[in-house]
Structure 1
């Protein structure tokens, strides 16, 4: 490479790990067989077939509360020939967005922000597809109104989808949290809208596509908040549409099924005679619903009791194509409910008595979940998906042929709060991430025989499940077993060591790529770890006898039935990517040491490249608290306290020869320390230089892998390059052009040692990432080197984070000649861990 200007880079997305916002009504399963959910301010899309998050859509300025597909799973029968599908999303500020997915090339487009959005957070979105060209959707909000909109779907390729506001319905001071729409059978164009919320009643409104939704009646019976409502499609008896079914669920733990039947028709008489035959079915007449010239009798069809806690969602099974000529589909009498009691249930009426019974129960997750926030059918009715309090997904598929046999399936996973730090394993086998959701997670590419596209990334372990928000992490480099140190909102750093179960699992995951690491200890005596009663310390589970090392190798779902009866964790060797139930309890690492010394909560950690020293810093408002502590790996003794800064040290990094430690701080200064190792193994240190470098907080720093230059990035939107000269001074040698936002993350990777060239990844507060090609040129007769810098790539905003990039990390374990393709990991405040593959040209 003659100059950095020759270097261009292109990026493609390898992996996104993200958890679901813990909000009811957040998830929607579309007719296109993709699932949408809110992940912080982004709308994330995942494919249940591959268990991978495909993309995140930027645009919302607040947390995404609700998503809903047009057409959703309920209208999959109408979507056979649709080239474009749409997605409606609502956020905590009341904004509603419309997105378009082109089915052929899987490209996304932001269509519009819906007019007349809400003044406060959106709580629910529901929709119906009226025809191939028209759909209606309705939204509820905590601002005391419900809005109804009409969407005109384009028929030809060039046309745009348009949305018009049809009606605003004031609902009073008690907010509505759920809504459902349906077309009334028999009447031309009459639409019924049901709402429920904090006043324990279901409110029905009638109207048409022109608006004028009039309050029709209330349905009473529930004794706590209404949490979910869902209309069926018209139910057919002997080929005639004779009514709708409405299901409601509540915090009173009950589910009610209401029948809405045409009054003055043969269909109504027929339904009455059939009710006489089914004498056990409860039949309580309710109010009459008048819509235009038609009237409908509402009756309580059934009351379903079975859940032991709030029932957050109920949903009818999507319609199925019918073989009869008169109707193109029929509505199965099958319901899915999801509850805070950690179960989902499928309900069906018995054939003989007509009494609704619970026929399938899945869940019962013992320790893992704190209940389900919602449940959804797949469009074909063979899979069911729940999302839980811990941001997690749970998917079951009916794999039985003659009888129901629901088995857990793989799903994407990730953090459900800001991801604060990431680190690559020393040989690049996996990424370790930590988050304010109080967990540490391991993501790795897993070679699966079934996939021909190489390895797909999955979460393979959750080493730490903690009682504090975790701020920082570092993996111990150098030889020996896998170890890491994490720091959280407490004054203690914790050291964790990989158990035997993880080492064997890692071998299964990466055998095609890495093989078992030679420098790993094969005589590890710890199988796994248990949580203590208060959940703040992870105790080791030891190998009791030689034969105990032959642990059972379990495939993804075996052995979960016995969770209730086993109080302790069971370390498991995984032969395929684990599901949430296994991750949450059976993949913990034991805690080997606690490092005491800091006066405030931990903020930053780093390890030298030989794996002998760890540096730590904490939040600080004074010089005495802002000191950096050095810890000796192995003995874990404090071997140094470095004084230089007066406010929090935000990031530290050892130079690649481990002879210097660079620290940057909120006090706008950086420090460079010389780390001196004596022959006796003692560590001494000396402050080489301290300098005010930027006008605002310095967030990030990174060393040149080939020599003693480093970069600093600041809130003042600049990145500066510095060179350590001799033993005492640091010179400023270059400033990159000003960035569009605060610089919050930096990572420098070497490309060509002879040319002293590399790539600097720059992450910003707005979520964007840029790659800069840097080349350090030293000319004879001059002390200060020159920097040749050029922009190598600006990553597509659709690939980047939605909010602040907290950390960037290059996977630098690959050999020098392989550096035409290199991987970059990033984490951010948008709950995401991302891995990009960068091709250098």
Structure 2
């Protein structure tokens, strides 16, 4: 089989990504899927599978908010819909409409909404009026609120149409929260609630296709309004006569407002009998006039229980009370999420009608800083929070006849640019580092009963939680325990070693039963790690200490409010939840490597695990030196001088005889490396050459030879060869790409000698695979390398921002040429793994 005859199929195996840290960024749809913004992409995940299904490209700025049509509130109206729609708004003011087909599970980019906002979109809300009609409102920091009429297609092949009804200018204090609802009793009247920086709730009334008029405002909150949500009409004597509006604020309180038709049964009879006996009697507010109808607004209740800003409130979605889905019941149940790290469910007491907090769940880890939003599942049995750490938290009510909310598995990932990745030496897991100051381990969690093509991947450990943005990482590939070296925005490289708890967790993930002797090596003596107060060093926790005396205060690890609690290393028998990852899966730091004068930028390890090379940010030749460290003793054994600016990437040849470095100075260098003894290394600069017209971002060796590739900001990839182990000759160029080349990874196919597969990642997020085949020749001759495109990955599968690193799994040997895995990471916060099959 020749290189050109091969055909490749590429499928998505895994996406890891965190949520943008902003309010209104998450939406749970009636279809059961959750959408959220991950940098410039809209990510969609399935809570049942705990896997991110796809990311949708199209935005040119960070995604601020998402909204499903229909969302969880209107799930009872979505039983027979074949297509669901998703709106997403970004920091530039653009709003994009997407269509999701339930039958074939495919996404279609419909259109960006015309007449978009001039500044960032902050909130999108909507109401479904009929199977073919709805209204959507969006607000922005430009001070405008746009109201759109939505016409859903009546046939399967039709299109969804948006018509701008009105744009309301609200002044210099923009609105940040919206909610829409149908007024009870009078079909066709719509009420719009908006709240923001002036601490008031403003109510506007209008028709489905008419002008919205400001009717009244609700006062009471003393700080910014952060969230608003209308219930569906509540029923009295068989007639819908009132709706409830819940509002939350930075003043830590929640208010419930009741909107009742003046000639309705509720307003003529007065309050309910049980409420006449309660302390929470109605406080009458303003009147809302809608055409010929008049509605009385009253303060139903004031809920106080949170200790910090309440960012989100949401009514429990209606429950369908019959199989025909024509009638529904609106539960009197509210979910609130706060920056005090808790979510609460509020319900009125049966006897007094006083609203009480009946459920409280939250995150107890020290590194959390609260929740930005809370969401109900469409059927009301699960609640989802997204937090300051870009993380999701899901609880499901597993009790029968009583509340028993238990944490569930949920997708996770970085919430800032992922700067580097590295495969474990045998490909058991992948390690990623990010500017979110964490290091994470993702691994496939095997399940004997699973019939899926791929084992589902999960985050199984968070070895390093740091105080600086982490720029680079290298896994030590030699024999011995799992170790890695990371470099951050500091002048020190740090070495970490896997503890016993991680080794046992890895066994559970891979379904392997490996026993560890308790006195075998350091790894079996160290159970886990503790964090220091500044978040820089992680101290080991030893097996003897863990089995010894309990904490002096008898608590579960919390000494005082001022100190960080002791970690409790855990062996995971199933994929962990966020609370376990954030605190109980740390690795101990074993060494610090001092020497560089600036922030670390690049790291690599040789293929025997004996040498680690490091470089830092540099603007002069003395600072741009490359340090070589001896693994084990961690002594600096060499300092290599060649470049005058930052060395952007380094890689050892696969026979470990040469080190290739590329730099911002547009040059590459090839050093010969000779190990004379245990801690003696000699080196020689074989070649230094200006290879490109712009910065060289990336390089990669041919695993079966001394050819290598370089990729540059000048949008080119060049192939070079080391001839006679002394000089470097230019071999060929790949055709120019459409964007800067930022990542390369060369895979050698063992079953096809002299044939390789080069993965090319670009600044626009796209990834391409190229066939490279070399035709013989002596060692002293320049090989004849031919390049042909193998496959261009679907943009829906790729990153939406710069690809920072590419890495083939087990790139040294690929015994099975028919199935390979490629990992990538990017500035869009994503770690991605692709399955590459040869047809």
Cα deviation for residue 366 of structure 1 reads 3.9
Cα deviation for residue 135 of structure 1 reads 1.3
Residue aligning to 2:619: 621
CA distance in 1, matches of 2:256, 2:466: 42
Alpha-carbon distance change, 460 to 325 in structure 1, aligned in 2, over 3 angstroms: closer
Matched, 1:718 2:724: no
CA distance in 1, matches of 2:325, 2:363: 42
Cα deviation for residue 672 of structure 1 reads 0.1
User: SS of the counterpart of 2:162?
Assistant: strand
Pairing 1:532-611 to 2, within 5 Å after superposition: 532-544=532-544, 562=556, 567-611=565-609
Using the size of structure 1 for normalisation, the TM-score is 0.96
Q: Deviations over 1:255-314 (max 9, x none)?
A: 000000000233421353547634422310000000011000000000000001000000
Cα deviation for residue 533 of structure 1 reads 1.3
Alpha-carbon distance change, 815 to 270 in structure 1, aligned in 2, over 3 angstroms: farther
Pairing 1:416-565 to 2, within 5 Å after superposition: 416-449=415-448, 451-453=450-452, 455-511=455-511, 524-544=524-544, 562=556
CA distance in 1, matches of 2:422, 2:194: 47
Residue aligning to 2:45: 46
CA RMSD between the two structures: 2.0
Alpha-carbon distance change, 448 to 270 in structure 1, aligned in 2, over 3 angstroms: farther
Q: Which runs of 5+ in 2 are unaligned?
A: none
Residue aligning to 2:36: 37
CA distance in 1, matches of 2:534, 2:503: 27
CA distance in 2, matches of 1:611, 1:217: 71
CA distance in 1, matches of 2:505, 2:491: 32
Cα deviation for residue 534 of structure 1 reads 1.3
Pairing 1:408-419 to 2, within 5 Å after superposition: 408-419=407-418
Cα deviation for residue 679 of structure 1 reads 4.3
Q: Deviations over 1:717-760 (max 9, x none)?
A: 10000000113210000100111110000000111366311100
1:181–1:192 Cα contact (<8 Å) kept? yes
Residue aligning to 2:83: 84
Q: Deviations over 1:385-413 (max 9, x none)?
A: 00000000000000000211000000000
CA distance in 2, matches of 1:26, 1:680: 54
CA distance in 1, matches of 2:778, 2:222: 85
Residue aligning to 2:315: 316
Equivalent of 2:644 in 640, 646, 652: 646
Matched, 1:192 2:186: no
Pairing 1:9-24 to 2, within 5 Å after superposition: 9-24=8-23
User: SS of the counterpart of 1:268?
Assistant: helix
2:703–2:812 Cα contact (<8 Å) kept? no
Cα deviation for residue 546 of structure 1 reads 10
Alpha-carbon distance change, 347 to 546 in structure 1, aligned in 2, over 3 angstroms: closer
Cα deviation for residue 187 of structure 1 reads 1.0
Pairing 1:257-268 to 2, within 5 Å after superposition: 257-268=256-267
Moved more, 813-822 or 378-387: 813-822
Moved more, 719-728 or 774-783: 774-783
2:671–2:687 Cα contact (<8 Å) kept? yes
Alpha-carbon distance change, 325 to 397 in structure 1, aligned in 2, over 3 angstroms: closer
1:196–1:203 Cα contact (<8 Å) kept? yes
Q: Deviations over 1:209-231 (max 9, x none)?
A: 22311110000000000000000
Aligned residues: 828
Q: Which runs of 5+ in 1 are unaligned?
A: 552-560
CA distance in 2, matches of 1:778, 1:17: 41
Alpha-carbon distance change, 291 to 636 in structure 1, aligned in 2, over 3 angstroms: same
User: SS of the counterpart of 1:503?
Assistant: helix
CA distance in 2, matches of 1:168, 1:265: 33
CA distance in 1, matches of 2:634, 2:270: 77
Residue aligning to 1:55: 54
Cα deviation for residue 678 of structure 1 reads 1.1
Alpha-carbon distance change, 336 to 593 in structure 1, aligned in 2, over 3 angstroms: same
Residue aligning to 1:558: none
Q: Deviations over 1:195-249 (max 9, x none)?
A: 0001000000001122311110000000000000000000112321110000000
Cα deviation for residue 688 of structure 1 reads 0.2
Residue aligning to 2:745: 747
1:242–1:268 Cα contact (<8 Å) kept? no
Cα deviation for residue 65 of structure 1 reads 0.3
Residue aligning to 1:557: none
User: SS of the counterpart of 1:98?
Assistant: strand
Alpha-carbon distance change, 523 to 615 in structure 1, aligned in 2, over 3 angstroms: closer
Residue aligning to 1:687: 685
CA distance in 2, matches of 1:767, 1:359: 46
CA distance in 2, matches of 1:43, 1:79: 22
User: SS of the counterpart of 1:827?
Assistant: strand
User: SS of the counterpart of 1:74?
Assistant: helix
Residue aligning to 1:676: 674
CA distance in 2, matches of 1:781, 1:610: 24
2:236–2:265 Cα contact (<8 Å) kept? no
Moved more, 561-570 or 310-319: 561-570
Cα deviation for residue 368 of structure 1 reads 3.9
User: SS of the counterpart of 1:610?
Assistant: coil
Residue aligning to 1:160: 159
User: SS of the counterpart of 2:749?
Assistant: strand
User: SS of the counterpart of 1:807?
Assistant: strand
2:748–2:811 Cα contact (<8 Å) kept? no
User: SS of the counterpart of 1:504?
Assistant: helix
1:428–1:813 Cα contact (<8 Å) kept? no
